[in-house]
Amino acid sequence: GAMRHLPYFCRGEVVKGFGRGSQELGIPTANFSEQVVESFPSDVPTGIYYGWACVGNGDVHKMVLSIGWNPFYKNTKKSVETHIIHTFKEDFYGEILSIVITGYIRPEKNFDSVDALISAIQEDIEEAKRQLDLPEHLKLKEDNFFHLPEGKITNN
């Protein structure tokens, strides 16, 4: 399942999505380009994950990540979207986002309302914050990957 590929390292440019994260949900998600999405192994299960993220050569923050089709919005293209658990002063479209995915929370689900979707994401964020404080996840915050921006990525 999901754990087989973890930790999973990934780096790429932040591109424009549909703008729904911030506008409708109040939860911005930095979208990776189609090229990065297609570079994910095809057997990585869709769903909600957590890990660490860094924009450019900035600080490393906790994040929650969604991989999939976003059933609520009936997307037809797969997306990989990172919500960084940090308040940024400005958008960072075009910047390089580096992430390491360290854990899996749940599969994708559909929701009856936007409110139900928002509550589920808030719970995911709380779960991610708790899990990432555990030593096995915390140790990846210090990984060399975040300090070697030109370094080659090797995943299992």
From 13, 24, 38, 81, the catalytic residue: 81
Q: Which two tokens stand for residue 14?
A: 């932040």
Task: Give the interface segment with ligand ADP, choosing from 65-73, 84-92, 109-117, 134-142 (CB under 6 A).
Answer: 84-92
E runs forming strands in the chain: 8-15, 30-32, 47-55, 60-68, 79-84, 96-106
130 binds ligand ADP (CB under 6 A): no
Contact residues for Mg ion, defined by CB under 5 A: 17, 21, 29, 31, 81
22 binds ligand ADP (CB under 6 A): yes
How far apart are alpha carbons 91 and 28 in whole angstroms?
10
Q: Which two tokens stand for residue 3?
A: 């754990």
Rounded to a whole number of angstroms, the minimum distance from the CB of residue 96 to ligand ADP is 12
Task: Give the interface segment with ligand ADP, choosing from 13-21, 44-52, 116-124, 130-138 (CB under 6 A).
Answer: 13-21
Rounded to a whole number of angstroms, the minimum distance from the CB of residue 78 to ligand ADP is 14
For the chain, the residue count is 156
- Cite the DSSP H helix spans in 32-113: 34-39
Rounded to a whole number of angstroms, the minimum distance from the CB of residue 87 to ligand ADP is 7
The reply to whether 81 belongs to the active site is: yes
- Cite the DSSP H helix spans in the chain: 20, 34-39, 114-132, 135-138
Which of 84, 100, 128, 132 is in the footprint of ligand ADP by CB under 6 A?
84
